[in-house]
Amino acid sequence: MPLFSTRPIDAKKIRFRVTSNILSGNHRSKPLSHTHPLSMKNCPACQSVTLESTNLEAHLSASQCSSCDGHWVAADDYHAWLENGPQAAAATAAVAVEDSTHAVFCPHCSQLMRKTNVGHDLNFYLDQCPCCHGVWFDQHEWDNLKSKDLHTQVHQMSSAAWQQKARQYSLRSTVRQVYASKFSSTDYSEAERIKNWLERHPQKQDLLSFFAAPA
Ligand SMILES: [Zn+2]
Ligand SMILES: [Zn+2]
């Protein structure tokens, strides 16, 4: 049963979703002492460093590694924060991320975490536990999600629809890099302007035929 829904966030429904998908699942059958305190768990990246309780945002509990500045967020804490109606983040410049490329194991249940493609021109993957659905954020990953106001959509990122879109973003980004290196910056800007105009034009196919026809 998938935890994460692809539907838009509806605060009124979140409690139901949390209750039906998380708390009534395997998690309910485990003793609470198994899930708390997370502060006793070790950093999945540094391994030997113990995570410490903190708040990633107001009302968003997390566990932080003082060495690599990564953050662990449990699924139920994330949904509780969403239920509080977090504010939209102001757009800011992205910060370079040193993404963990090695295997990362869940600090909560020791499962191998899945790499989740974020997309949206953010060149990193989130580590998400397939079992308890907690998420590990390497340093700056949360801030980068906030820079694009994606931090309230983490629960949707493992869905097939999100991953398909993320692959399209990656492909588009690669294609752009290839052509940006072929053209001068002036020509590339002009080509991109024409391409964007063409993409939205109702006579796109006729225009493409016209461009391809002999001058
Ligand atoms: Zn660490
Ligand atoms: Zn887990």
* b/e 116-146 (16+ beta carbons within 10 angstroms → b): bbbbbebbbbbbbbeebbbbbbbbbbbbbbb
Is the pLDDT at 167 greater than 80, yes or no? yes
Query: What is the pLDDT, as a whole number, of residue 97?
Result: 67
Give the ligand with the smallest distance to the CA of 48: 1
**pLDDT at position 95:** 66
Give the start-to-end residue ranges of the domains of the chain: 11-158, 166-212
Residue 85: its pLDDT value, please? Answer: 79
Tabulate helix, strand, coil % of the chain (nearest 5).
40, 15, 40
Is the bond preceding 37 in cis, omega lying within 30 degrees of 0? yes
CA–centroid distance, 78 to ligand 2, in Å, is 14
Q: What is the pLDDT of residue 3?
A: 45
79-96, pLDDT tens digit by residue?
999 998 777 666 666 666
The predicted structure's pLDDT at residue 146:
92
Q: What is the pLDDT of residue 170?
A: 83
Let me know: does 70 contact 45? Beta carbons within 8 Å.
yes
Q: How far is the CA of 183 from the centre of ligand 2 (A)?
A: 47
Counting ligands in written order, the one closest to the CA of 3 is 2
Q: Which of 31, 84, 25, 81 is nearest to 56 (CA)?
A: 81
List, in sequence order, the alpha helices (H) in 65-159: 75-83, 141-147
Distance of CA 14 to the CA centre of its chain: 19
Centre of ligand 1 from the C-alpha of residue 50, in Å: 8
Question: Could you tell me which residues come within 8 angstroms of residue 144 by beta carbon, excluding any fewer than 6 positions away?
Answer: 94, 95, 97, 122, 124
Q: Could you read off the pLDDT of 32-83 as tens digits, one per residue?
A: 333 444 446 899 999 889 999 999 999 999 999 999 999 999 999 999 999 9
- Beta-bridge mates of residue 53: 63
pTM score, whole prediction: 0.66
- Model pLDDT for residues 112-166, shown as the tens digit of each residue: 999 999 988 888 899 999 999 999 999 999 999 999 899 999 999 989 999 999 8
**Ramachandran bin of 53, using left for φ above 0, alpha for ψ from -120 to 50, beta for the remaining angles:** beta
Quote the ligand 2 centre to 108 CA distance (angstroms).
Answer: 5
What distance, in Å, lies between the first and last C-alpha atoms of the chain?
58
The residue with tokens 């950093």 is 43
Q: What is the pLDDT of residue 1?
A: 42
Q: What is the pLDDT of residues 1-40, one digit of tens each?
A: 444 444 444 444 433 333 333 333 333 333 333 344 444 6
In the chain, the percentage of residues whose pLDDT exceeds 90 is: 55
pLDDT of residue 103: 83
Contacts of 89 (CB under 8 A, 6+ apart): 146, 147, 149, 151
Report the pLDDT value the prediction gives residue 90, as an integer from 0 to 100. Answer: 67
Å from CA of 160 to ligand 1 middle? 29
Report how far ligand 1's centroid is from the alpha carbon of 145 (Å). 19
CA distance 101 to 123: 12
Ligand 1 centre distance from Cα of residue 47 (Å): 7
Distance 212 CA to ligand 2 centre (A): 54
Determine the pLDDT at residue 66: 95
What percent of the chain shows pLDDT beyond 70? 76
CA distance 156 to 145: 13
